Amino acid sequence: MSVGPDSKLSNSTFLLAGFPGLEQHYPWLSIPFSCIYAVVLSGNCLVLHVIRTEPSLHQPMFYFLAMLAVTDLCMGLSTVHTVLGVLWGLGREVSLDACIAQSYFIHGLSFVESSVLLAMAFDRFTAICNPLRYASILTNARIINIGLGILVRSFMFIVAPIIRLKFFRYCRPHVLSHSFCLHQDLLRLACSDIRFNSVYALALVLCTLLLDSVLILVSYIRILHSVLAIASREERLKSLQTCVSHLCTVLVFYIPVIGLTMVHRLGAPLARGPRPHGQRLHHRPPLMNPIIYSVKTQQIRGRIRRWAKSVACGSSQARGRI
């Protein structure tokens, strides 16, 4: 289905593109996407449950992991209704207000995730490079302040460009590039002066995502330098193993962000082909993060195993009584 300039859509209604060219396969596509969202919701809830109920995990590293799980959970909830709505045939139209709200949460949560990854890098840097002061540096009060700072930094600074979207005139065909709303997608359809939004958004990305990635890189250079100074090979490996999960999560987050940025910056000539791939990249971090930490983090993996065994024993005892 295509929408041209003479579309029946009102000025305050937009059409989600979905997956162009694959409309006949939507019933089949809905199955893997439903499974993705099921894993996102259940996986992150499981990680949060394990951290909450296991006293040994009540430490800074896992508090930051809980922040990451909450962020991924909210990211999944912010897109599930539009993505599955398109695939299940429930509707592709979205109002301007709903679209602006969705883009606000998607971009804000992306900045939150980047900030949490930076905080986790600082946690690993402190634990490896300054272990004697680890507990005194990352106190509970300081962790709470870091969390509040992340929320303010991520959601306050994007208010100005997001609010301006409400007052733009959208004269181009109201067809969005994805199954969810993005700030740069709405700018592409606007006929108003968008210079402030474009410049501000670029500066915000440079001051958040790019700066965070550079600081994470610097922290790991310092970590590697400290680890290599350790004489024992076993101790070096043990120190580096505590960083494996975080490094995997960093790669899983920043590669999709770079991919989506390139898709939108390259413009119209490449707009059709990469859309479905860009949407899959967008779903990768909330999907992969709970899997990475469940597999790579020994404490969480052990707790899940014990929980699974207790459930299995309980069910077998129930069958025995029957």
Read off the pLDDT of residues 48-78 as tens digits, 9 standing for 90 and up.
999 998 888 899 999 999 999 999 999 999 9
- Residue 177 pLDDT greater than 50, yes or no: yes
- Radius of gyration for the alpha carbons in the chain, expressed in angstroms and rounded: 22
Helix (H) or strand (E) holding 95: strand 93-95
Instruction: Give Cβ neighbours of residue 181 (< 8 Å, ≥ 6 apart).
Output: 14, 82, 94, 98, 99, 100, 102, 103, 106
- CB under 8 Å to 27, separation ≥6 — which residues? 87
Mean pLDDT of the residues in the chain: 84
Q: Which tops the pLDDT comparison, 282 or 162?
A: 162
Whole-number pLDDT of residue 18: 81
Q: Give the residues across from 245 on adjacent strands.
A: none
Across the beta sheet with 13-16, what order do the strands follow? 93-95, 13-16, 175-176
The share of the chain scoring above pLDDT 70, in percent, equals 84
Q: Which of 116-120, 157-161, 200-204, 239-243 has the lowest mean pLDDT?
A: 239-243
What's 133's DSSP letter? G
User: Is the CB of residue 44 less than 8 Å from the CB of residue 66?
Assistant: no
Q: Check: CB of residue 30 under 8 Å from CB of residue 77.
A: no
Can you tell me the mean pLDDT for 162-185?
90
pLDDT at 6 over 60: no
Q: Which residue has the tokens 């272990």?
A: 131
Is residue 108 scored above 80 in pLDDT? Answer: yes
Amino acid letter at 113?
E
Specify which residues 103 forms β-bridges with: none
Q: What is the pLDDT of residues 242-297, one digit of tens each?
A: 888 899 999 888 887 766 666 555 554 444 444 444 455 555 678 888 888 887 78
Write out 54-83 in H/E/C secondary structure.
CHHHCCHHHHHHHHHHHHHHHHHHHHHHHH
Domains of the chain, CATH where assigned: 13-266+291-296 (1.20.1070.10)
CA distance 168 to 4: 19
Judged against a pLDDT cut of 80, whether residue 206 lies above it is answered with yes
Query: What does the DSSP 8-state code read for residue 208?
Result: I
